[in-house]
Chain A
Amino acid sequence: MVFLKKKMRSKFFLFIIILIFIIIFLIFYKGLTNYSIYTPKINIENDIPVFSANIFDSDLQVSSKELFDPKKSYLLNIWSSWCVPCRDEHALLMDLSKDEKVNLIGLNYKDRLNNAKNYLNELGNPYSKILVDETGTIAIEWGAFGVPETFLIYENKVIKKYIGPLNQQFLIEIKSLIK
């Protein structure tokens, strides 16, 4: 009788240990696909920054005041030829560029001119204007984390900010916001 009890107890413990391992495994496995960057919710002042930048493939400089007309809405997209997710969202940007209400402005982030040109030749150029950000400091002025990132601007204010590549859902949202 005592022997049987002991056996049952050890079986019970084995069961518990296996259960704990399974739970731990599931937690870690789920954690693998989680987006691991934590950012607390914040209200950031949303006026567009004051800056000046070179225009892509030219010697001209443009300031933010000249670039953004307060009466229009703009979509600023930070991209780079070395950025893989940018390729995913490029088709959506091409789609957006067909809409006349949208002024797409590109910010070429830490890129080489030749690579950027090849990228645009290969996939098409959705942007009405492209600015160059060689050091990444202009992206910092915008409060950006990296590439790709998209800002929806209306009346010189950032209404919406999309970190990471755009998807179909964002596209619908952008189109409805612009209307």
Chain B
Amino acid sequence: MNYFKIIFFFFILLNSNELKADNEDLKNQITKNLRCLICQGQSVYDSDSEFANSLKVTVEEKLNDGFSEEQIYLFLKDKYGQWILYDPELNINTYILWLLPILLFLIGGAIIFKSFIFTKK
């Protein structure tokens, strides 16, 4: 009976650890995607500024409240704007950012293709 108790205790202990680690992983993943607005060039995860530390606590609280990753991004976007997210969405302000690489690829491809044909002739 005592063995059972000990095994049960360890079972619970290990399980709860896993649950916590899961949340921690998600928290790290989210904070890596957030720009630290007052220490630019760093993510919230990397920074140890007051702002970043508060944000880490906020993300943790929101996760405990049952917010999903998307909901947290949406919440922070509402407060600080698109700029806080490292992964910008496609809209009027960012279309050049998204379309320029494709455009450059196409133009470059066209140039290579053309020169290739010319040399063949």
Contact = CB atoms under 8 A, between A and B. Distances in A.
A146 to B, nearest CB: 5
B79 A146 contact: no
A99 interface: no
Given A37-B38, A140-B58, A145 B51 contact: yes
Interface in A35-92: 36-40, 42, 44-45, 49
Interface string B43-63: 000000111011101100100
B54 to A, nearest CB: 3
Given A42-B82, A143-B79, A145-B38, A135 B51 contact: no
A44 B38 contact: no
B105 interface: no
B38 A146 contact: yes
B86 to A, nearest CB: 14
Q: Among the interface residues A37, A49, A140, A147, which one has the most CB atoms of the partner chain B within 10 A?
A: A140
Contacts of A142: 79
B17 to A, nearest CB: 24
B83 A140 contact: no
A166 interface: no
Secondary structure class of chain A's binding surface, majority of residues: loop
Contacts of B78: 44-45
A142 B79 CA distance: 7
A39 to B, nearest CB: 6
Nearest to A82: B50
Contacts, number: 52
Contacts of B83: 39-40, 42
A109 B82 CA distance: 25
B80 interface: yes
B81 A136 contact: no
Nearest to B53: A136
A110 B37 CA distance: 18
A66 B55 CA distance: 26
A44 B54 contact: no
A107 interface: no
B40 interface: yes
11 contacts: A44-B80, A109-B50, A110-B50, A110-B54, A135-B54, A136-B57, A137-B54, A137-B58, A137-B61, A146-B49, A146-B50
Interface of A: 36-40, 42, 44-45, 49, 109-110, 135-137, 139-143, 145-147
Interface of B: 37-38, 40, 49-51, 53-55, 57-58, 61, 78-83, 93
Given A36-B40, A40-B81, A136-B51, 16 more contacts: A37-B37, A38-B40, A40-B83, A42-B81, A110-B54, A135-B54, A136-B53, A136-B57, A136-B58, A137-B57, A137-B58, A140-B79, A141-B79, A143-B80, A146-B38, A147-B50
